Structure 1
């Protein structure tokens, strides 16, 4: 097999990133955006936010088939259920990376779930403004999402002059943003939009137009949407569309509940009792909090000495596998929770274990 699909190529790049550290299933959970404590830890520890939620639609049965195809063709092997990139796989990645032009921004962790809603709002807003100014009262909306349609009512211009001003401002803002993207990525955005006399293209139609893999078109389109979200704060119209979508805290809802108890000085065990959850589940939540908060009081859980030991052995062995680090620090009687918490804190937005 000489030509890989785009999905398989991304799989192989991710496999090299976590070589001999994680299972095939872990890769699947990262690329489809599973918000479990383990997956969140993985993307933080290995700096994989640009792979998280990259293919949310990838069915597990299809993923297994494509992974097995890569395995049969010796692009990677397995050891103790962990993915091990082969020399053939490394060469394939090197060839791909040598001339592939990455999008300006892709952050599935930050924008993976807000991006699609932002796009629905933007596309419906543009379509409705276009048809209204053309005098078209009857048309099929690009999205029939009740939440998005309700949002549109709250920002809809009151009269024709306001509509004209909004349309001109939107054009300028989009033009200013899209000129920083590659021509390909700008085309993927503009050709997806609908308006009076024009219907946006599907990803399949775009793939034929630009002669790219459909999955690659989807990836690059989402990357462009992420970039628009990133720039929304500098643009009046885009900022209105992005309002309330971008979360400042990426904690899961159940972890937010645990955080409220922590802020009231409840102990780990008291929180588990109050929430009727296992202690290990509350530990997962605390690890998630440590990875997100720069002011997390790590010393309350792990002494400075033990933190340094954990980081030293992680760097020395160039691994973040808990079992390997636990064996290296066993004489110090450091438990798994301390290791996870330390790696999470220094592997989040405020540290580096590498």
Structure 2
């Protein structure tokens, strides 16, 4: 069996989880982190938030080459524009799962964007603290992001004593936190940091030192950053680095506008008219909101008996395909919006791994 690159292996795992019900392009949007209503539905329905934004840099031409190669070597097939995983593909996944050690945390859905700002703040703070305590005031900052530098100035310790105390405490806190990670993951964090007479290593350098692909290095590094972000309250500096980041603010901007009108008591028809959008677009927004809000009033949109009927058939048939569920509910006439909304609402708490 041909050895797969890390990216291709992750695609193959995702393809299996999607239950042969989505297109290759749909999987691409999940892995690169396209924030659309359809992608949001997919990651919730199929419990694949773990894969969201795993490879935001994956170019479409490279993706096509990778998936074509997977088809050529018979790991996947395609039928009616849906990805089918072959027995060889399932066997490959089983072998990978039995030997691979996953990071304790990875959630591109919740932490995809906030983690980048969190890391910039943390890395710049460490660099400036290290250089300042060494007496060096002339150095190039690792990040020139104005908002990050503004955060640094606001949180910068004033006296030399405060700087020394902060450095000592931060060192102990990071050592304790990173000690809970796999050695390779802790290594990635420490060697991406820059300080006095110490330059953070490139992905190529880290890949060579760890004998791990750059894709996997990047994935495991992000998992470590997510871990630090999730445990930021255990460190004074990390807590400040995480402050103000909208970790849970995952709705798209256009959906937030619809939510505002919904909170005012407006119905979908009125919202669509005022916003000059199609009703189907507003329905997309409502489905997205239902997938995130625990207290969403789904009973206002779908009768309880209809919810139960949809969930029963989805479980019995092991499918999320709307057409199949609609036909299974006959003679009950269910519209696609009711099915989508129910699947979104009851799938909102899924954050499983591969």
- TM-score normalized by the length of structure 1: 0.97
- Mapped partners of 1:119, 1:81: distance in 2: 39
Indicate if the aligned counterparts of 1:173 and 1:237 stay in contact, CA closer than 8 A: no
Q: Secondary structure at the match of 2:331?
A: helix
CA distances 1:299-353 after superposition (whole Å, capped 9, x unpaired): 111001111111111111100011111111242111000000000001112899x
Give distance in 2, aligned partners of 1:269 and 1:171: 56
Q: Which residue of structure 2 aligns with residue 311 of structure 1?
A: 311
Q: Which residue of 1 aligns with 2:44?
A: 44
Any gaps of 5 or more consecutive residues in structure 2?
Answer: none
- Whether the 8 Å contact between 2:47 and 2:351 is mirrored in structure 1 is no
Q: Distance in 2 between matches of 1:234 and 1:92?
A: 39
Question: Equivalent residue for 1:55?
Answer: 55
Secondary structure of 2:84's counterpart equals strand
Q: Which of 68-77 and 343-352 deviates more?
A: 343-352
- CA distance in 2 between counterparts of 1:293 and 1:12 reads 30
Once the two structures are TM-superposed, the CA of residue 234 in structure 1 deviates from its matched residue by 2.6
Corresponding pairs, count: 352
Q: Tell me the distance in 1 between the aligned counterparts of 2:261 and 2:350.
A: 23
Residue matched to 1:348: 348
In 1, Cα distance between equivalents of 2:265 and 2:350: 24
- Between the aligned partners of 2:246 and 2:183, the Cα distance in structure 1 is 26
Unaligned segments of structure 1, at least 5 residues: none
Runs of 4+, deviation exceeding 2 Å: 246-249
Q: Secondary structure at the match of 1:77?
A: strand
Asked if the contact 2:50–2:351 (Cα under 8 Å) also holds between the matched residues in 1, the reply is: no
Contact kept? 1:232, 1:238, Cα under 8 Å: yes
Take 2:272 and 2:63, find their aligned partners in 1: how far apart are those partners?
A: 36
Measured in 2, the distance between the counterparts of 1:246 and 1:203 equals 28
CA distance in 2, matches of 1:178, 1:350: 27
The separation in 1 between residues aligned to 2:350 and 2:104, in whole angstroms, is: 23
Q: Is the 1:111–1:246 Cα contact (8 Å) retained in structure 2?
A: no
Q: Offset of 1:273 from its aligned partner?
A: 1.0
- SS state of the match for residue 332, structure 1? coil
| Distance in structure 2 (CA, Å) of the matches to 1:351 and 1:237 | 28
Shift of 1:151: 1.3
Higher mean C-alpha deviation, range 102-111 or range 167-176: 167-176
- Please say if 1:208 is aligned against 2:208: yes
Quick check: 2:173–2:234 contact (8 Å CA) kept in 1?
A: no
Deviation of 1:247 after TM superposition, in Å, equals 2.6
- After TM superposition, give the deviation of residue 169 of structure 1 in Å: 1.6
2:262 matched to which residue of 1?
Answer: 262
Contact 2:122 2:241 in 1 (8 A): yes
